[in-house]
């Protein structure tokens, strides 16, 4: 799921309970995407700190 698709899905609150083809609800998918992105942001911050930026 790309950022544009996630933004559209997140803006349609009536669809958050909808079960997606992967078996998760739209809400669960968006939460997973947020956690995934936060994990990678943390890795980027840690790498920058190691490199002295």
- Strand-pairing partners, residue 25, are 19
* Residue-level pLDDT at 47: 98
Retrieve residue 32's tokens: 């997973």
Helix %, strand %, coil % of the chain (to 5)? 70, 5, 25
* Residue-level pLDDT at 1: 80
Put simply, whether the predicted model's pTM sits higher than 0.85 gets the answer no
Per-block mean pLDDT, blocks of 10 residues, the chain (53 long):
90 96 96 97 98 94
* Residue-level pLDDT at 2: 85
Pair 31, 24: CB distance under 8 Å: no
């Amino acid at each position: 799921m790309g950022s544009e698709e996630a933004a559209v899905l997140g803006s349609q609150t009536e669809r958050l309970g909808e079960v997606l083809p992967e078996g998760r609800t739209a809400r669960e998918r968006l939460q997973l995407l947020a956690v995934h992105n936060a994990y990678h942001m943390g890795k980027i911050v840690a790498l920058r700190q190691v490199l002295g930026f």
